[in-house]
Amino acid sequence: DHTFRIASNTKTYVAAAVLRLAEQGKLSLDDPLAAHLTPEQKVLLAGDGYDLEAMTLRQVLSHTSGLFEHPRDPRYEEAVLADPQRVWTAEEQIRLTVEWGDPVGAPGEKFSYSDAGYIILGTIIERTAGKNLGAAVRELVGYEALGLTCTWWELLEAAPAAAGPRAHQYFADEDATSWHPSLDLYGGGGLLTDVRDLARFTRELLKGKVLQQETSLAALTGSGPADYRLGLSCAELGGFLGWGHGGFWNTFVFHVPALDLTLSGCVLNHHAAKGQVLAGRLVQQVAEFGK
């Protein structure tokens, strides 16, 4: 019944929200990134050599746009550990992406995971929907219709009445539960939930209950490199194909179509065994039990 920060598992919700905006005709996955940036973002990113007309929203969603990411630089972890209560802004983190690194490739050239890309998508969702990121994703994804009663965006929304107590989450021996959430809040992360809601969202998404057009679901699972699509990992789990994502705190959720199985969890420590490893073992056990 405990709730916890799901970190990069948030990216799947962000991707679903972008696809819903596309269904509403408010943007297209193949729009150039330049069409949806603020003038300040354009100047900042273009000044670092990014070809904003060649980069598309689809590429940002699949981490193939060439964007660097600020957490890759050790100075980010050092800054967080030095002052866990520091308040970060989205624009500051985008700026660090430019200051600390250069484009990692041409648009569409290769996969390179980028939190910064999803922070940019978060700012695009807010401007396009005309609401803060928490409210926009809640409405676009349809939490109420899905029965997500224990899911909310930290700082931007109040905890739902049904939400259970917070689980403690750790960075090695450091209890990070009270670290200021702005270190990972603006689209790369930001959501809190429990295992039931996390599994329910992913299951309903992949069964076509979140997106309203079959072409949207096809884009979600069919666009991107071999092991990552639009806000979704594609992983081998216990000999079966699983769709889902993992997060910094070793959160995980995967839907395994061949078994009609959806599983989720959180190991609660960044330095623990990876959540995807546990997911694979769980899938294997379920498959063996079903024989």
d(CA 60, CA 66): 8
* DSSP 8-state symbol, 228: B
H helix and E strand count, the chain? 11, 9
Give residue 106's Cα distance to chain centre.
Answer: 23
Query: Could you identify the residue written with the tokens 């997060």?
Result: 247
Query: Could you identify the residue written with the tokens 């943007």?
Result: 27
Element (H, E) at 115: helix 115-129
Alpha-carbon torsion, ordered 75, 78, 82, 83, to 10 deg: 60
Instruction: Give just the sign of the alpha carbon dihedral 138, 142, 145, 147.
Output: negative
Residues classed as catalytic: 8
Alpha-carbon torsion, ordered 167, 170, 175, 177, to 10 deg: -50
3-class SS at 80? helix
